[in-house]
Structure 1
Amino acid sequence: MTLAHDVAGSGPTVVLLHSTACDRRMWDPQLPALVDAGYRVVRSDMRGYGDSPVPDRPYDNAQDVIELLDLLGVEEFALVGSSGGGRVALEVAARWPHRVTSLALLCTALAGHEPSAELRAFGEREDELLEAGDVAGATDLNVELWLGPHADEATREAVREMQRHAFEVQLAAVEEYPPIRPDFDLADITAPTLLISGDHDLPDFRQIAVRLSKELADARHRELDWAGHLPSLERPEAVNPLLLDFLREHAGAGRERRG
């Protein structure tokens, strides 16, 4: 299956991977800025999100991304991932390091991370609401947790729409198939990496950013004192310059590494 996606602009390719509270529409505030800066932007919906159907067999999120890029004829690319999309981006960068020129991770999740009590409690409450058929309640729970104080009502409504759509699509599935989780080693990541965390987010995501800043070969960590879990939506006017500066700094880095 080819992931639902869109492509805009021309130049070096930047791939945008969405949070699992959203879909590819979460990058609407970044798309014009990236295109205007001279990038070809590819954004896709993971299976069960946005316009991509739920999987009908076990699936591999990272392989899905690579197959889409192969279809589009993209050999080298920069990756930008938010939360669950960051977890997928890390896997892509570790399994196909020669193809990733740079890696920007916003409040990224991490495979194998032991969740805090607060994050576990959120997951349990979300499950309770969904099992009771209260999709609206589960949606509101996500909106309140994941957005920081700078998110306006239009942003909250956009996240509410994306999250509710994901719940409705996934709950309508006849059968649930688990993702395939191949082994990979973070030490294989060679791409320069920008890690962004928010002071109003759950502590898990700052802990992940700090850990990755120490484990990855070429990584820097930027904390945003105003941000929640979705800073690219909360204040795009602050996040877009950070992304553009980072991408400009590392343009062509993949070719240089292979020398």
Structure 2
Amino acid sequence: MLIHHESDGSGPPVLLLHSGVADLRMWDPQWPELIAAHQVVRVDLRGFGKTLATAGTYRDADDVREVLDSLGISRTAMVGSSYGGRVAMEFAAAYPDRVTQLILLCPVYQGLPPTAALKDFAAAVAAFLEAGQLDAAVDLNVQTWLGPEADDPTRELVRKMQANSLRLKLVHPDGGPETSEIDAATIDIPALVVSGARDMDYFLAVAQHLAQVMPKARQVELAWAGHLPSLERPGEITQLLLEALL
């Protein structure tokens, strides 16, 4: 299955992977400046944006590989936000020779047990969806994952992206990606792990853990950021990416 994607620009390739409450539109603020210096690819993973959800299980990393193959890209840097960070690590673990570096913005990682705050959030979202209260589930996601720096248009965009994804996934509620464990210690690739001081405690612990166990990782913590810094202060993250990309 070839998932929806966009590609533009020229230069060293960069792949952008969206968070679990967004789709490829989350990278709109970074897109113009990145494509001025790089060949940039962004995708809608299954069940997000313009890519339909499917029945059964699949591997997001293999969908990404198919896109890169279709574009003739053998090696690329990967930038992943939240869930997109997990996909980037999955791809790097499966295809290490195809990744030049990783930039992980508040990444998801299943190698640590969930905190009480994360459990409470997941239970609340599940209860809303079970009751058919889609809008309430969307609102809780927006309130939880966007930090105080995000403006109203950004909050509305995230609300639209998340609502679209939840509706797509309701078509195939039993479908979803495989969730095999990743041993971060085996990802021997230059990596920048970005965390937000205003993010949920679980993701602060994840960033610290990854920076400690990944052989070539370093961590940057942003005092102002919540879980989605590229949407909260897009200009600062654009500059961070341009400076960090090799």
Whether TM exceeds 0.5 here: the answer is yes
TM-score, normalization by structure 1: 0.92
Contact 1:49 1:165 in 2 (8 A): yes
Tell me which amino acid in the other structure corresponds to 2:58. Answer: Y
Corresponding residue for 1:223?
Answer: 221
Q: Kindly indicate whether residue 239 of structure 2 is the aligned counterpart of residue 244 of structure 1.
A: no
Quote how far apart the aligned CAs of 1:178 are. 3.6
Contact 2:111 2:181 in 1 (8 A): no
- Residue segments in structure 1 that go unaligned for 5+ positions in a row: 251-259
Corresponding residue for 2:78?
Answer: 79
The number of residue pairs the alignment matches comes to 246
Corresponding residue for 2:23?
Answer: 23
Quote how far apart the aligned CAs of 1:90 are. 0.7
Tell me which amino acid in the other structure corresponds to 1:30. Answer: Q
Q: Kindly indicate whether residue 61 of structure 2 is the aligned counterpart of residue 62 of structure 1.
A: yes
Tell me which amino acid in the other structure corresponds to 1:79. Answer: M
Q: Distance in 2 between matches of 1:121 and 1:141?
A: 12
Q: How does 1:140-219 map to 2 (within 5 A)?
A: 140-173=139-172, 175-182=173-180, 184-219=182-217
Following superposition, which runs of at least 4 residues in structure 1 exceed 6 angstroms of deviation?
none
Percent identity, aligned pairs only, is 47
Contact 2:110 2:181 in 1 (8 A): no
Greater shift in the superposed pair: 104-113 or 156-165? 104-113
Inter-CA distance 118–181: structure 2 relative to 1 (3 Å threshold):
closer
Q: Distance in 2 between matches of 1:204 and 1:57?
A: 29
Quote how far apart the aligned CAs of 1:220 are. 0.9
Q: Kindly indicate whether residue 142 of structure 2 is the aligned counterpart of residue 122 of structure 1.
A: no
- Residue segments in structure 2 that go unaligned for 5+ positions in a row: none
Tell me which amino acid in the other structure corresponds to 2:174. Answer: E
Tell me which amino acid in the other structure corresponds to 1:216. Answer: M
Quote how far apart the aligned CAs of 1:237 are. 1.2
Greater shift in the superposed pair: 183-192 or 98-107? 183-192
Inter-CA distance 182–124: structure 2 relative to 1 (3 Å threshold):
closer
Tell me which amino acid in the other structure corresponds to 1:74. Answer: I
Contact 1:107 1:209 in 2 (8 A): yes
The 3-state SS of whatever aligns with 1:143 is helix
Contact 2:89 2:182 in 1 (8 A): no
Q: CA RMSD in A?
A: 1.2
After superposition, the C-alpha distances for 1:211-254 in whole angstroms (9 at most, x for unaligned) are 1111111111000010010000000111111111110xx2xxxx
Greater shift in the superposed pair: 122-131 or 188-197? 188-197
Tell me which amino acid in the other structure corresponds to 2:25. Answer: R
Q: Distance in 2 between matches of 1:186 and 1:172?
A: 33
Q: Distance in 2 between matches of 1:43 and 1:88?
A: 13
Quote how far apart the aligned CAs of 1:182 are. 4.5
Quote how far apart the aligned CAs of 1:11 are. 1.1
Corresponding residue for 1:257?
Answer: none
